[in-house]
Chain A
Amino acid sequence: MTAEEILYREAALLDEGRFEEWLELFTDDAVYWVPQGEGGDPEHEVSIVYDDRQRMHERVLRLGSGFAYSQDPPSRTCHLVGNVLVEPGETEGELRVSSKLIVAEVRRDTQNLFAGTVEHVLVADGEELRIRRKVVRLVSSDTPLGNVTFLI
C-alpha cells in the first residue's frame, strides 16, 4: 500500500467499525494524539486524547465491551480524507503525511461535524507501511466538544 492508501484504509476501517484491524495498522510504539487548543505540548497541557498503544488497545476493548454507554448506540461516521501531502520523515525509512480530515458523525438523531489537519508518521515494516504517530488537530478543539468517544 502507498502512504495515501494507508490513510484511506484507516478511514474505511473506522467507518466500518473494524477497530481491531485499525489497531493493527499501528506500530507498538505508536502515539495517537488529539491536542486541545493550541496543543503544543502534551507534557504540560491537557489533551483530548494522548494514547500510547496500550491506551489505544483499551479504547478498542471498551468499545467492544457492550457497556460503553456513550457509544450505545455507536456513532456512525464518515471520514473524508483529502489534501494528502507525502514528505520524507525525520529518520530514514519514515514518511510524514499531512492531510485534511472531515468527519460527519451521527448519533442519537444528531449529526456532528469534526474537521482538522492530520499528521501521520509512517514507517516501513517489512513490505508494509505502519503508523507510528497520528495527530489530529481539530479546528474546534478549544470549544466544548460533546461526545468524542468514537475513534477519530
Chain B
Amino acid sequence: MTTTTGSPSPADLITDDWRLHGSVYTSPEIFAAEQRALFRGPWLYVAHESELREPGDYKTTYAGTQPVIVVRGADDGEVRVLLNRCRHRGAAVCHEERGNANYFRCPYHGWTYKNSGELRGITYDDAYPDLDRESLGLVALPRVESFAGFVFASFAPDGPSLEEYLGNAGRYLRIVSQQGPDGIRLSAGSHKLTYRGNWKLQVENTIDNYHFGFVHRSFLDVLADRIGEAPPIMKNVLQNPEWRTIDLGNGHSVHEFGDPETGSNQGQLGDLPFNLIIFPNLCFVGAQLRHILPKAADETEVRLYPILHEGESDADNAAILRAHEGFYGPAGMGGADDIEVAFDRVGDGLKAVEEDWLVMSRGLHREQPGENGTVVGRASDEVPQRAFYRQWKRLMAAGEAA
C-alpha cells in the first residue's frame, strides 16, 4: 500500500484489493481535480423536459460547481445550458429557481441577454466604441442532448454521444420515463438537503442495501407497525437472488428488485422498480430523481424531485408524494438518518487519519460477468460503489495525464 503524502495520484488511492483512501472524501485538492476530470468532460444531468415545456421556460441549477441556466429558447425551442454569469463583470444574471423569460437582464449595470444567450443590449454603449458583442453572449455549454426526456450537457465539444455514454444504463432511464401511462413529470418541486460532507457519500449511499437494516432500523419498526409483521426488505436483500446489483459500465449502476420492468420493493419506499445511479451525480431511488450538487470537499447540496406520473389521477400522484415524504426530505423518517450516520458520522470518523484506509471489497469474490460487459453481484454487495470508483479512477487518471 502506498503512503500518500503531497498530492497522491488517483491510482494510489484505490488498491487492487479495494481499499479506498480517506482523502478521496476529505482532500480539497482531490475535489478540485474531480471538478476538472469528472465534471468538465462527461455528460451531466441538468433538467427533465417536463420542467421546460414552453418556449422561454428555464430553471437554474449547477453543472458541477458552476451555476447554469437551462432554458428553452423563445424563438427556436432549442434547450440551451448557459453559464449564469454576466460577461461584463461577472454578476449572476438570473436568481430565480425556475420561471419563464425572453430576456435575462443583469442587475449590476443592465446588460441584457436573449434567452438564447446572445448579448442583446449594453446600457450607455457609447463608451464601448469597438466591443465585439457577438463574442460576449452568455457562455453556452457546447453540447446538450436529451435521452428519454432527461436533458444532459457537457463542457467537452467532442466525445461520445449521450446515448453511448449512458450505454447499458439507457434502458433503465427509459423505464423511468415510462412510469406513468403518459410518461412522467417533475412538477411537484423538490426537497433540498445540505450536509457537511463529501458529495460521493450521497452517491454511495443511494445504492447501499447493506446499511438498510442498521441505519433504517427505526423505519423498519414503523413498517412493522404499519403492516403487522416484520417487513420483507432485509430478507430480500440478504436472500433473494433476483435482487441484484449491477455495474453497468461507465460508472453507472443499478439495483434491481427482480425484473426491471415489473420489479417492486413492495411499494413501501416509492415505486420505481430499481435504484439507479448515472455517473457522476444523478440517482433514482424510491420515487424520486436525486440530483447531487457538490459544493466543496466537505459540503454538498442534494435536491430530491418526486417523479409524478402523467396520465394518472391527482389522488394517485398525491399518494406518491406522501410515500416520498414519509421517508425522504428534511423531516423524513429515513433520509434524515442517512444524513446523520452515513454523512455526518462518517465525517466525524474520517478525521482520524492515522490509519486512513476504508474497505470497499464486500462481495468482490462473488462478482459475476453479465451481459454487455456488466458485472453482477448480490443485493448487499458493494458492486455499485466499485462501479463508481472504477470510472472515477479512470477519469481521474486521464485528467492527471492530460
Contacts and interface: CB of A to CB of B under 8 A. Distances in A.
B189 interface: yes
Interface in A25-53: 34, 36-37, 42-50
B222 A61 contact: yes
B191 A36 contact: yes
7 contacts: A46-B188, A55-B326, A58-B225, A65-B221, A68-B333, A144-B301, A146-B193
A37 B187 CA distance: 14
A9 interface: no
Given A46-B321, A47-B321, 10 more contacts: A44-B318, A46-B188, A46-B190, A46-B191, A48-B191, A61-B222, A143-B192, A144-B192, A145-B193, A149-B332
A66 B217 CA distance: 9
Interface stretch (B255-263, B334-342, B394-402): B334-342
Given A65-B221, A70-B336, A58 B330 contact: no
Contacts of A45: 188-189, 321
Contact of A67 (B193, B218, B301, B314): B218
Contacts of B22: none
A76 interface: no
User: Number of contact residues on B: which range applies?
Assistant: 35 or more
Contact of B306 (A46, A49, A55, A66): A46
Interface in B177-232: 187-194, 215, 217-219, 221-222, 225-226
A126 B219 CA distance: 36
A36 B324 CA distance: 14
A45 B329 CA distance: 13
Given A46-B325, A46-B329, A48-B329, A65 B218 contact: yes
A70 B195 CA distance: 13
Contacts of A55: 322, 326
- Tell me the dominant secondary structure on chain B's binding face: helix
Contacts of B332: 149
Interface in B331-359: 331-333, 336-337, 339-341, 344
B222 A58 contact: yes
A44 B188 contact: yes
A143 B192 CA distance: 7
Interface string B260-290: 0000000000000000000000000000000
B102 interface: no
A69 interface: yes
A59 interface: yes
A2 interface: no
A62 interface: yes
Contacts of B190: 46
A145 B192 contact: yes
> Most chain-A CB neighbours within 10 Å: which of B218, B225, B332, B340?
B218
